[in-house]
Amino acid sequence: MSVVPALRARRVVPAACAAILALAACGQATQAGSATREDLGDFVVREALLETDEYVDLANQLSEEGWLEDIAEALNASLNLPVDIGIRFAECGQSNAFYLPDEREIQMCLELFDGEREVFAAYFETEQEIEDAVAGSFHWTVFHEVGHALVDVLDIPVTGREEDTADSLATWWLIDGQGGEASTISAALSFYTDPSQAGEIDDSEYAGDHSFSQQRYYALACHVYGSDPEGYAYLLEEEWLTPERAEYCPAEFERLSASWYALLAPHLKE
């Protein structure tokens, strides 16, 4: 499994925060932060909720490898929280993941592994490439759910779709925490090939609370490219991105990164 990045407060935060203060969002985050700055909670790995023997075996293997434990450790090294947030494997009957606000708990469905393996097996040749892509996409999905959890317990302001906010937290954390770009690219590829959105789009999809998978794919690819246009020039050269979108990606990622640092500044450990 790849390294799970931790984040620290960075020195640009006060300046970014000051610039945004006029919009009140930063003020609100700071206010919420002043009440929650003490480290009263942690991400806590809870026992898996499983019925099928096959998934019990898989959960045992993943626990031995520390999949959730490493992520919880990185988050706890980075964030002061007002309350505990649970995180566990579960059997859900679908390839998905959830944040349950009433339980303050993230549930990562083990069905995800089957779904992702199928997607990546069509793309990669070696077992190692498939495993790495599954692990990367899993990583990103955990951080997406962490985004929902932080919106909930830290009262992070949301001014558009909360799903887009959760996407942006995952992408920012994995990129700025260093070393998570490959995970973000794996998640992007998973969205690109989402079989549930092949063919005609119906009203329920237009009315859904997620952006379309293809839009999520382009947003993730854009933010990885924007974080380092020279290092990720291949994303443009190999047409992962359109040139029209790519032009704006560096500024888009910089704004995204400054916004998350400002919003989380009161909660990031020094």
Residues of span 175-194 touching Zn ion by CB under 5 A: none
Q: How far is the CB of 216 from Zn ion (least distance, A)?
A: 10
Choose between 143 and 240: whose C-beta lies nearer to Zn ion: 143
User: Going by C-beta distance under 8 Å and a sequence separation of 6 or more, which residues neighbour residue 68?
Assistant: 45, 62, 87, 88, 89, 108, 142
Q: Which of 67, 78, 217 is nearest to 139 (CA)?
A: 67
Closer residue to Zn ion, CB minimum distance, 73 or 163: 163
Q: How far is the CB of 146 from Zn ion (least distance, A)?
A: 10
Span of 39-47, 82-90, 121-129, 164-172 interacting with Zn ion by CB under 5 A: 164-172
Q: Which stretch binds Zn ion (CB under 5 A): 73-81, 160-168, 200-208, 250-258?
A: 160-168
136 residue type, one letter: G
51-110 binders of Zn ion (CB under 5 A): none
Interface with Zn ion by CB under 5 A: which range of 17-25, 86-94, 111-119, 162-170?
A: 162-170
Of 12-20, 86-94, 157-165, 195-203, the segment contacting Zn ion by CB under 5 A is: 157-165
User: Residue from 81, 109, 166, 263 that binds Zn ion (CB under 5 A)?
Assistant: 166
Q: How far apart are CA 227 and CA 96, in angstroms?
A: 28
Count the site residues for Zn ion by CB under 5 A.
Answer: 2
Cβ proximity to Zn ion, 45 vs 151, nearer residue: 151
The three-state secondary structure class of 270 is coil
Q: Burial of 89 by CB count in 10 Å (0-12 exposed, 13-18 middle, 19+ buried)?
A: buried
Give the residue from 173, 159, 165 showing the smallest Cα distance to 224: 173
Q: Is 151 in the site for Zn ion (CB under 5 A)?
A: no
d(CA 94, CA 100): 16
111 vs 132 by CB, closer to Zn ion: 111
Q: Which stretch binds Zn ion (CB under 5 A): 30-38, 150-158, 166-174, 194-202?
A: 166-174
For Zn ion, give the closer residue by CB, 89 or 225. Answer: 89
Report the residue number, 99 or 225, with the smaller CB distance to Zn ion. 99
Give the type of residue at 62.
Answer: L
Q: How many helices (H) and strands (E) does the chain have?
A: 13, 4
For every residue of 82-132, DSSP letters joined together read: SS-EEEEEE--SSS-EEEETTTTEEEEETHHHHHHHHHHHTT-SSHHHHHH
Interaction site with Zn ion (CB under 5 A): 163, 166
